[in-house]
Amino acid sequence: MSACSAVDNASSDESDAGGGDTTEPITIGVSLPLTGDFSEPGKGVQRGYEAWAKIVNDSGGLLGRQVELKVLDDQSNADRVVADYESLIAQDEVDLVFGPFSTRLVVPSARVAKEYGMLFVEPAGAAAEVFEQGFDNLFYAAPAVANDHYNYLAEHILAMPEGQRPKTVAYAAMDDPFAQGTAYGLKEKLEAGGIRTVADEVYPPNTTDFSSIAAKIADAKADMLVGGSQYQDAVNLIVALQQLDYQPKMAAFSTAPTNPEFSKAIGEKTEGILSPTGYTTKADYPSNVEFVEKYTAQFGNPPSEDEANAYTTGQVVAAAVEAVGCAEQGDCQQRLIDWLRDNTVETVVGPLSWDEVGRPEAAHLIQQYVDGEIQIVLPEDQKEADFLFPKPAW
Amino acid sequence: MTSPQLVFQSLVLGVLLGGLYALLAAGLTLYFGVMRVVMIAHSAFLILAAYLAWWFNDRTGLDPLLSLALTVPLFFVAGVLMQRLLIRRLSPVTLTMMSVLLTFAVALVIEGLLGYVFSGTQRRIQLGYSGSSLELFGARVAVVKLIAFGLAAAALLGLYLLLKRSRLGQALRATIQHRDAAALVGIDTDRVAGYGFGLGLATAAVGGTALALDSTIYPSLHWHWIGPLMAIIVVGGLGSIPGAAIAAMALGILQSLLQLEMGTTWAQTVFYVALFATLMVRPQGFFGGRLAQRF
């Protein structure tokens, strides 16, 4: 069928500059939370996808065809995301789909993709539950799932001499599968290593006042604080803790510290704060060097993690398409899925391969604010600065 | 289990939180009192004021509190205009219901404009004293929360005195009590309603600025506020400013204390539990007396 329309197009007014076997573009359907609770990361993912499409198109396209993104806004709403993917696949008949942002939107949309037998590579569903649904079409395009984000930190702490390492930990996590997954992944490992949990607070995503949570944590006087957080909650919690003059020896938050706005919000009091990250602009993988340079040229500032995960999604799908030699609905999708199951893809976050349910088999780096700058401190062989312990007062 | 120290700290935090709630809810109850308008956009105006405070600080480097000198008059005028140009056109018969739809639309417009102008990036005013606190009998009182509380107290006291002592206040109260009778004794109730709306929005300017001192803001934040604020004014008695203040304080403290045993998720439901209980037991509200009769 696509061959027929290709002939139609060649004889019509298409003036594609791609040369050779120019045909109609490969369309890729995406639904993203461009408004609502996840609009901030949603827009980041959109920029990542756009950067990928531009770089691919500038270098001659995919299978010699230009790629075209069709992006819908699901308003951070799980019902909308389902309707969006239904219409992208069934009505618009897109050739490929990319995943949305956030576990809560990834799970329902992956279900739609599975019904239609579509390959589903996604940039943002890191929570354990994504991989417990029996999706055989899903691949998470990042180095590690949520529960493993803090792995290097857990190893580091448990390797510290008994007398030095933190003895008590307070956990605070947003009621969100991803955010909780990161904190509880670490909690499990530290508890198994004999480090006591003295506070464990869970708060809903719409929490605006963190002073009471902070009061409980400060009262517990934990040596260490672990946040399973998105952006604004981590910032609000940190300031609330500062107001109560709680001074942990170690403080780690997922997501927020890697956001460029973070140090603007917290001021000079970021020193020593830790964060796991799946991406750094400084990684010297060849495609990353190109990505950072071209992304910066296109958008005026370097990419952050959301953009990189989206770009990685594009790279993963592109690798499968180039290897299998097709990109359309139907049998081709299963061949793309099968190929990804058995192969490793070079991406901006390093080489990625997946287990049978789509979990990536790598790990997150641990970054820390050292001398006012966020730098990699773990693992040892990739560090840019020494691990700072205990954390200076904030 | 829970140390007395922590209970006291939570109580202090609850009082501070209650003060902020009272300020944020005051305007909301005023619109209803004067005009029977359910102003869904009130919290959107709060966030707008918060953004203006952030923007002012970002551009000038001056303390965001100074932005009040601009935003309070600006919001007052905007309120008068909004009442004259939009609210007044609604039919009196369906005013309450239609005002929900109209102000819902206004809220969406404000949210959209904020996103367009300032982007969806989450912002926070970075103050030198944002992490500072004072000690009070072993509890910590954050300076920014104290300032917000002071603003709330000053704004509410000002509003109360205005309503009780000035001619405009008398006219407003007359309009609230009986619009037709007020018109009969020569009060230009339309104009008074406009000023009432302006006053409501002026409190939003103060409230938004107070909010911006101690929280991270983003365009869609107002949806998280409108629910609790609506609950507060219903519990307090629609149209009653002291009622709103007392209900806000009670719910703020209750939320803060419940948090100790029940955690954040359940503590937040206190607003809705109170709302349902009020509607079942005393639909006119607990503190306001008969609908909007007292200040």
Residues 6+ apart with CB under 8 A from A205: A37, A174, A175, A176, A230, A233
Q: Which two tokens stand for residue A111?
A: 């279900």
The string over A138-177, giving b where at least 16 C-beta atoms fall within 10 Å of a residue's C-beta and e elsewhere, is bbbbbbbbbbbbbbbbbebbeeeeeeebbeebbbbbbbbb
Q: Is A232's CB within 8 Å of B115's CB?
A: no
Q: Is B220's CB within 8 Å of A243's CB?
A: no
pTM score, whole prediction: 0.82
Interface test with A, best of B259, B265, B270 (most A CBs within 10 A): B259
pLDDT at B294 over 90: no
Which of B79, B86, B87 lies closest to B201, judged by CA? B79
Which has the minimum average pLDDT: A20-24, A255-259, B41-45?
Answer: A20-24
Cis peptide before A108 (omega within 30 of 0): no
Average pLDDT, chain A: 89
Average pLDDT over residues A127-144: 90
Using CA atoms, how far apart are residues B54 and A353, in angstroms rounded to an integer? 45
Average pLDDT, chain B: 89
The CA-CA-CA angle for residues A134, A140, A142, to 5°, reads 155
Average pLDDT over residues B196-221: 93
Using CA atoms, how far apart are residues B229 and B17, in angstroms rounded to an integer? 13
Q: How many CB pairs under 8 A join A and B?
A: 114
Query: Measured between CB atoms, which of B130, B255, B264 is closest to A201?
Result: B264
Q: Given this model, what pLDDT does residue A53 score?
A: 96
In residues, how long is chain B?
295
Task: Give the other-Cβ count within 10 Å of A31's Cβ.
Answer: 29
Residues of A in contact with B16 (CB under 8 A): 211
Residues of A in contact with B256 (CB under 8 A): 211-212
Query: Measured between CB atoms, which of A212, A219, A245 is closest to B256?
Result: A212
The CA-CA-CA angle for residues A119, A124, A127, to 5°, reads 100
pLDDT at B295 over 60: no
Q: Is A202's CB within 8 Å of B265's CB?
A: yes
Enumerate chain B positions whose Cβ falls within 8 A of a Cβ in A.
3, 5-6, 9-10, 13-14, 16-17, 115, 120-124, 126, 128, 130-133, 140, 142-145, 214-216, 218-221, 224-225, 255-256, 259-260, 263-265, 267-268
pLDDT at B183 over 90: no
Using CA atoms, how far apart are residues B7 and B293, in angstroms rounded to an integer? 37
Average pLDDT over residues A286-313: 93
Q: Given this model, what pLDDT does residue A39 score?
A: 81
Residue range B13-22, pLDDT digits in tens: 999 999 999 9
Residues of A in contact with B268 (CB under 8 A): 204, 206-207
Which of B154, B200, B282 lies closest to B33, judged by CA? B200
Block residue for tokens 């956001």: A259
Residue range A82-119, pLDDT digits in tens: 999 999 999 999 999 999 998 889 999 999 999 999 99
| ipTM score over 0.90, yes or no | no
**Chain centroid to CA B288: how far?**
17
Our CA-based measurement puts residue A238 at a distance from the nearest CA of chain B, in whole angstroms, of 9
Q: Given this model, what pLDDT does residue B217 score?
A: 93
